[in-house]
Amino acid sequence: MLFNTPIYLVFLLIVVPVFYFLPKRIDKFFLLGASYIFYGYWDWRFLFLLVGSSLMDYYFGLLIYKAENKQKKKILLLSSLFLNLVILCFFKYFNFFIDSFNLVFGNKLDFLHIHILLPIGISFYTFQSLSYTFDIYREKLLPTKDTLDYCLFVGVFPHMVSGPIVKAKLILPQLATLQKPVKSDFITGFSLLTVGMFQKVLIGDTVAKYANHIFSDPTYYSSSELLFSLFMFAIQIYADFAGYSNIARGSAKIFGIDLIDNFNQPYLSKNITDFWRRWHISLSDWLKEYVYIWWLGGNRKGKVRSYINLMLTMLIGGFWHGANWTFIVWGGLHGGALVVHKFFMERTKHISIRNNFVSQFLSVISSLATFLFVVLAWLFFRAPDFHSAWFYLDRIFVHTVSSNLTADLFIIMLFYFIAILVIDVVELKTKRHDFLAILSPAARFGIAIPVWIAVIFFMYTIGKPMPFIYFQF
Amino acid sequence: MKNILIFLLLFIGTGLALEQFLKMTRITPPTLKYYDSTYGSLNRPNIDYFKSVEGLYVGKTNYDGRFRENYPKRKDDKRTLRIMLLGDSFVEGIDVFSHNHFAAYIEKILGEKLNRKVEVLNFGRGNCTIQASSFYFTSRLSKEYDADIVLYFTEARDVLDLGIAYEYPSTSYDLNADQQLAPVYLWKNTSEYKIHKKLTDNPILKYYDNSAYFRLLYRAVARTKLSGFPVLTFGKFCGTSADQDYTPLTVSDTVSLLTKKIYDTICKYNNGQIIFVVRDKPVNNPAIIQYLKTSNYKYINLADAFDGYNIKNTKINAYYFKASNAYGGHWNNDGHKTMGTFLSNIILENMSTYKMPDYQP
């Protein structure tokens, strides 16, 4: 089920009141059942995988905890990791490995190519499950003895398919003591849903129409049109994913569950390190804790090694996004930028700029450069392959004659930017995504009702709902 | 009282801001049609338009409601070659931008080869069969624009007498009691016209099209009427339409008397420089070419430009839009490029055979 369809609103309108009035414990069973309906609505066959994967890690958690010595714990952890990665690799990366082998050694393994349907959200719920066994192994979490709580942690519908990637230690305690939502939960949930729907339906889905068409046929557009389209994709992916995260957080909140922030105005970042503290926070946080610090050693093994670790973490992050070399390059570009920034900051940390104007000017330049770098890197994220990415890049820098479309596209892009900027600035000033919640009911509904009218009409009239970009991951 | 005031102020303020956002981002384009008492539905002039069902179009209609810049009524001199296009949505081509439309390629290629100005006037219109477009052509376009050559697109649907069953959006030709061509105004019976009339007769609702919100409301009502409620909206795929199966289809309907009369009549206009362009997709009817051949009319067979759905001698599909995954609707950018080159070459090859008194070779 997609969040940006009328059926999801109907689903919420049925599930929320039933959940609210059911007795304790039964309500959790009901929520799990509803979550599986939500997931199975897309393809019921993958429910078996979801349930199987959940139960597997649940029992691994118990076994790791009960194991007598470190050696046994390690073997069990590696077994859990191995099985999770085998499932993930089979569904997500199998054909990629075959293609990469063929690329190097000729089409020797072409016969192994199989048509695999990617189970939606597999990367997200695999990482969530892994955080559970990792934390039990590291003795930072006690295993839950309640299978229901564990299955809800992995499979509760708001965050199941595209995050935020919640860590077990943050969500399991909430589920164990899950209370009925109170008035403030409904207000916060409604506010997040309103902002999220606006971002996803009215910005993300509509700007996608421009970006998708131009990206699919770059030969026929001028350099400025291609550049505007790239900016439009930057708007699309942000509105799409931030919108999804707000809808997910809002939906969870009306069941009394708190999910972590996933975005904090990333395009207003001061530098690339700051960007990764603000973009897809739950993934960055996961990679930082389990890959960069725990697995690779973080900063503990010297400066050079810390740069290598940073780069490796970002390459893994890139690969997590999709089975394509373009994602690895995208991760590599960001890894490289992070290394350069880290190196630069260490070298210049003793320099302080006293002139306020110069300092502010440099800050603006740095923000702008970060934004432009992020936008340019999106090209590798969006392009289907290297050839297309280079072709696109080449055409951007080769001047071609503009048409009437160039001016039209510029104005359209400008209005989309204004829309996301308005939301970002309000969020920044109020320091919250549910900024509507701090208003009086009259003010809240005065703003929310016109938004919902537009959102519902748009959902209703649009022929094909646009899936979330991160669903493919 | 204070709360009501706050609510109203923010409601109106947010509504106006969103209204502006929806308009400026073009995602709720105005209604394309208006109704003229003589010609039936025509495209509205000078409006910002956006379409992304198959391909993508962003732009404005000109003063004649066409998706290109304004067409001067008369040629500036005899050295200018003026070509008029008539046909349906394939010719209208709002699934591609005007500079990627085959008309733009014809202007460029012929302009360079002939070393002179070439103007292509595109009067294609979605859903317009030859019965409907021919009335507009003979009674207005042919007289108003002095085209040297007219490329009149025709296809399988044109040979059928769809007059009564098929509700034309524009005034069309039908046969009267004496078996002569006479205009009929079937568009006045269409549900779309009735809704339009109801809205425009209402002193408040007649301005509905000026508001993005009301356009959305109008579309929601129209969609419900068209697709039913709640099947498509609340169905499993939430309104996702299946991709079109583009299976080639050949029919063998004979050319109706009405269509024969229309072909014969059209050929008397513009000094007889009418070239029929026969489209064989999505439905092919060999009877059209048969009739044009036996009647000695000029024609171009588009089957010569394509191998099935691919551009000739390539594996490039001319009908598939990657972004929308729309298969088999109209020509995509590659298809238009092929069309432009193909038609330009044929015109060039036959220039010496055309009789164009208003053109200086």
pLDDT band at A351 (very low <50, low <70, confident <90, very high): confident
**CA atoms of A435 and A191, how far apart (whole Å):** 7
For residue A450, give the chain B residue with the closest CA: B15
What token pair was written down for B337?
């490029």
Lookup result for tokens 């293609």:
A99
**CA atoms of B28 and A182, how far apart (whole Å):** 38
pLDDT at residue A119 in the model: 83
- For chain A positions 373-392, those within 8 Å of chain B (CB to CB) are none
DSSP E strands in A234-312: the ranges are: none
Touching check for A454 and chain B: CB below 8 Å?
Answer: yes
For residue B10, give the chain A residue with the closest CA: A446
ipTM of the complex: 0.89
pLDDT in tens, B164-218: 445 567 898 888 999 999 998 888 888 778 888 888 888 888 888 888 888 888 8
Touching check for A415 and chain B: CB below 8 Å?
Answer: yes
Which three-class secondary structure state does DSSP give residue A132?
A: helix
Q: Which DSSP letter does residue A1 get?
A: -
In this complex, the residue of B24, B27, B52 whose CB is nearest that of residue A411 is: B24
**CA atoms of A72 and B19, how far apart (whole Å):** 63
pLDDT of B347 above 70: yes
pLDDT at residue B235 in the model: 42
Catalytic residue positions of A?
Answer: 321
Query: In angstroms, how far is the first alpha carbon of chain B from the final one?
Result: 79
B236–A41: do the CB atoms touch at under 8 Å?
A: yes
Which three-class secondary structure state does DSSP give residue A473?
A: coil
pLDDT at residue B323 in the model: 86
Q: Locate the domains of chain B by residue range.
A: 1-29, 73-353
Average pLDDT, chain B: 87
- Residue contacts between A and B (CB atoms, under 8 Å): 136
Helix and strand counts by DSSP (H, E) for chain A: 20, 0
Residue A324, Cβ density class (10 Å: 0-12 exposed, 13-18 middle, ≥19 buried): buried
Ranked by mean pLDDT, the top range of A17-31, B25-39, B53-67 is A17-31
Touching check for B226 and chain A: CB below 8 Å?
Answer: no
For residue B177, the distance in angstroms to the closest alpha carbon of chain A comes to 44
* Residues in A touching B238 (Cβ below 8 Å): 2, 5-7, 465
In this complex, the residue of B7, B56, B322 whose CB is nearest that of residue A442 is: B7
pLDDT at residue B53 in the model: 84
pLDDT at residue B163 in the model: 54
Short-list A112, A99, A173, CA closest to A141: A173
pLDDT of A154 above 60: yes
Touching check for A9 and chain B: CB below 8 Å?
Answer: no
Compare B157 and B82 and report the one with higher pLDDT: B82
Helix (H) or strand (E) holding A10, with range, is helix A6-21
Mean pLDDT within B219-248:
57
Is residue A225 a contact partner of residue A405, using CB atoms and an 8 Å limit?
Answer: yes
Compare B98 and A444 and report the one with higher pLDDT: A444
3-state secondary structure labels for all residues of chain B: CHHHHHHHHHHHHHHHHHHHHHHHCCCCCCCCEEEECCCEEEECCCCEEEECCCCCEEEECCCCCCCCCCCCCCCCCCCCEEEEEECCHHHHCCCCCHHHCHHHHHHHHHHHHHCCCEEEEECCCCCCCHHHHHHHHHHHHHHHCCCCEEEEEECHHHHCCCCCCCCCCECEEEECCCCCEEEECHHHHCHHHHHHHHHHHCCCHHHHHHCHHHHHHHHHHHHHHHHCCCHHHHCCCCCCCCCCCCCCEECCCCCCHHHHHHHHHHCCCHHHCEEEEECCCCEECHHHHHHHHHCCCEEEEHHHCEECCEECCCCCECCEECCCCEECCCCCHHHHHHHHHHHHHHHHHHHHHCCCCCCCC
A440–B216: do the CB atoms touch at under 8 Å?
A: no
Average pLDDT, chain A: 90
What token pair was written down for A176?
């164990």
pLDDT in tens, A423-436: 999 999 999 999 99
Lowest mean pLDDT among A365-369, A388-392, B29-33: B29-33
Mean pLDDT within B250-254:
81
pLDDT of B274 above 90: yes
**CA atoms of B208 and B90, how far apart (whole Å):** 29
Mean pLDDT within B6-33:
92
Question: A84 vs A87, A287, A319, CA distance in Å?
Answer: 5, 16, 16
What token pair was written down for B339?
């069309």
Helix (H) or strand (E) holding A348, with range, is helix A325-348
Spell B148-175 as b/e; 16+ CB within 10 A means b: bbbbbbbbbbbbbebbeebbbbbbbbbb
**CA atoms of B234 and B204, how far apart (whole Å):** 32
* Residues in B touching A215 (Cβ below 8 Å): 323
Short-list B307, B343, B296, B312, CA closest to B90: B343
Angle at B211 between CA B206 and CA B212, to 5 degrees: 135
**Bridge partner residues of B175 (DSSP):** B181
Q: What type of residue is B128? A: C
Residue A139's CB is within 10 A of a number of other CB atoms, namely 10
**CA atoms of A315 and A307, how far apart (whole Å):** 12
**Torsional sign, CA B141, B146, B147, B150:** positive
B14–A454: do the CB atoms touch at under 8 Å?
A: no
**CA atoms of A212 and A208, how far apart (whole Å):** 6
For residue A446, the distance in angstroms to the closest alpha carbon of chain B comes to 4
**HSE-up of residue B67 (Cα within 13 Å, Cβ side):** 29
pLDDT of B242 above 80: no
pLDDT at residue B164 in the model: 46
B220–A220: do the CB atoms touch at under 8 Å?
A: no
Q: Which DSSP letter does residue A296 get?
A: T
CATH class of this structure's domain B73-353: alpha beta
In this complex, the residue of B3, B213, B321 whose CB is nearest that of residue A440 is: B3
Question: A324 vs A219, A327, B162, CA distance in Å?
Answer: 23, 6, 52
Mean pLDDT within A275-287:
95
Lookup result for tokens 């943050």:
A170
What token pair was written down for A378?
């999106």
pLDDT at residue B220 in the model: 79
Touching check for B24 and chain A: CB below 8 Å?
Answer: yes
Touching check for B114 and chain A: CB below 8 Å?
Answer: no
Q: Is the peptide bond before B169 cis (omega within 30 degrees of 0)?
A: no
pLDDT band at A102 (very low <50, low <70, confident <90, very high): confident
For residue B68, give the chain A residue with the closest CA: A404
Lookup result for tokens 């509105």:
A239
Spell A23-44 as b/e; 16+ CB within 10 A means b: eeeebbeebbebbbebbebbee
Q: Which DSSP letter does residue A5 get?
A: S
Touching check for A340 and chain B: CB below 8 Å?
Answer: no
In this complex, the residue of B9, B239, B333 whose CB is nearest that of residue A465 is: B239
What token pair was written down for A302?
């010297």
